Amino acid sequence: MPDNDDLVVFERLRSAWQTHRTPIADHLAPGLTETELETIEATAGLVLPAELRRWWGWHDGVQRRIAGTSLGPESLLGAGPWELLSLSEALRYRDLMVQLTEEFEEDDEVRWLPEWLPVVHFDGSYLFATCGAPRAERSEVRRWTKVPDDPYTVRAPSWTAAVETFTGLLESGVHPADGRLRGLM
């Protein structure tokens, strides 16, 4: 899927947010420039998949209603409990998870790998992609839960596919509190 197709998917999500009057629609932060993305990658020592460069180039998370907070309705994706992360927030969560799980070096099942980068989170759970050189076009999406029993199962073939799932749920009228969203990705 070329990059223009990704942007069409992302814009479809924005349209669904606007249609359903979700707070996130009015709080999207501007996207990062290519120069900003290159600087962040160099500083973090990560090579983002191309689709995630497009994602954070489209919008870099949300502008918080209250500066310095990380929770609020303005960050909710609207399909399920997931909260949108900016790239800097994603890197902070990544660093925190690496630090919290580094003592489990012998047990990959409970250790957060440095090449994993969360894209959204909720209450100790993350949907994350794998970053690395050479730059991949896409990365499979996996889920880390509060009790990380299965971080290797692929939940979506790419972040763009995950966005299509969220968008489809919003367009079909599924409310975030709907029981059908339990276990989503």
Q: Decide which of 81 and 108 is more confident.
A: 81
The H or E element spanning position 163 is helix 159-171
Q: What class has domain 3-172?
A: alpha beta
State the average pLDDT over residues 46-73: 87
Q: What pTM value is reported for the model?
A: 0.89
How many Cα atoms are found within 13 Å in the side-chain-facing hemisphere of 23? 12
pLDDT at 71: 65
Cα Dmax for the chain: 48
Can you tell me the mean pLDDT for 62-80? Answer: 75
Cβ atoms of residues 109 and 129 within 8 Å:
no
- Mean pLDDT score, 73-83: 80
Give the residue extent of every domain in the chain: 3-172
128-183 pLDDT, tens digit per residue, is: 999 999 999 999 999 999 888 889 899 999 999 999 999 998 888 875 555 455 45
pLDDT for 47? 97
pLDDT digits (tens, 9 = 90+) for 24-56: 999 999 999 999 999 999 999 999 999 999 999
Summarize the confidence of residues 75-90 as an average pLDDT.
87
For 97-121, what is each residue's pLDDT tens digit?
Answer: 999 888 776 665 678 999 999 999 9
CA distances from 37 to 43, 47, 88 (A): 10, 10, 11
The two structure tokens encoding residue 163: 């966005």
